[in-house]
Amino acid sequence: MKVFSFANQKGGVGKTTTAVTLAAGLALQEYRTLLIDLDPQGHVAFSFGKEKSSGLYRCVVGGEPLEKEVINVRPNLDILTSDKRTEQVKRHITMSDFRENVMVDLLKSNQYDVVMMDMAPSLDVLHINGLVASDWVIIPTRLDAMAVDGVKEILLTMAEVSRRGYPFEGYSILPTFFDRTTRETLVQFQEIVKAFGSRVWPPIPQDTRTREAPAFGKTLWEYTPNSTVMTGYSNGRTRLGGYQQILKRTMELINE
């Protein structure tokens, strides 16, 4: 089992869209996949046309087994939902012994090939729990100065988690909302590549249909499979970026 988390301490950078799209893509490739919502906003359920619910709360606080609380939303794809009661999960973890390992314990002895966690932008005990349980961290970021600063903040947090004995296999930075016609976007993309090199994945083009799909309870694979956000930009004979390319990168990590 490989565990991925999607993290950035700045909101509005495409974490949930990325988590939902890659989880659904892996399921289409027949990986048994679990997507866990660690954000009280509960947008993972909404993205699949489901009601927000307290699945995470019932597992962590109520002690219910994971397999009882997951919801099957597509073939090979289950979700564990969140809602406002997730705030109580944080308080419960704060008072627990060995509190850094609550998510690790929850994920023991499950039957999934891949677990993905959509993390809230806040830095709290649940966020730390998600990082501790992660093998690989994917950091979506807009290409503006404030969002790039959020990348630096999450990397500092990850360094502290590693220092305390919970190392990661690695991390990737995923530029989102990429607009190649905007100078600021291009400049920030060049700067982030200069700073992080091959850890920067090909960008996700900006596309209004990423906001439309959840309203219909559909993934991007279902709603707009041939759009630029999925296939990337044309670059001569090849395509650059898009979620199809990012899915391939993710599968390579799983199969290493």
Whole-number mean pLDDT of the chain?
Answer: 93
Q: How confident is the model at residue 203 (pLDDT cuts 50, 70, 90)?
A: very high
pTM: 0.95
Tokens for 222?
């279902």
Mean pLDDT across 71-97: 94
* Closest to 3 (Cα-Cα) out of 40, 30, 36, 38: 36
Amino acid 156: pLDDT: 94
Helices (H) and strands (E) in the chain, counts: 13, 9
Q: Can you give the CATH number for the domain in which 241 is found?
A: 3.40.50.300
C-alpha–C-alpha distance, residues 14 and 192, integer Å: 17
State residue 186's pLDDT score.
Answer: 86
Paired with 173 in beta bridges are 139, 200
The strand pairing partners of 170, in sequence order, are 136
| Of 117-121, 191-195, 198-202, minimum mean pLDDT range | 191-195
Task: Check whether 235 has a pLDDT greater than 80.
Answer: no
Of residues 100 and 70, the one with the higher pLDDT is: 70
User: Which pLDDT value is given to residue 240?
Assistant: 87
pLDDT in tens, 150-179: 888 999 999 999 999 999 999 999 999 998
Q: pLDDT tens digit string along 108-145?
A: 988 999 999 999 988 899 999 999 999 999 999 998 87
**Domains held by the chain: number:** 1
Distance of CA 58 to the CA centre of its chain: 22
Percentage above 90 pLDDT, the chain: 78
Residue 11, token pair as written in the block: 């909101």
Longest alpha-carbon distance in the chain = 56
The average pLDDT across 25-48 equals: 97
Average pLDDT over residues 31-41: 97
pLDDT at 6: 97
Please give the residue range of the domain that contains residue 141: 2-255
The two structure tokens encoding residue 28: 């289409």
Number of Cβ atoms within 10 Å of the Cβ of 169: 12
Q: What is the pLDDT of residue 134?
A: 97
CA separation, residue 27 to residues 22, 31, 77, 195 (Å) = 9, 5, 6, 33
Is the C-alpha dihedral spanning 106, 107, 110, 111 positive or negative?
positive
Q: What is the pLDDT of residue 188?
A: 87
Beta bridge pairs of residue 9: none
**Average of per-residue pLDDT across 226-242:** 88
User: From CA 220, how far away is CA 103, in angstroms rounded?
Assistant: 28
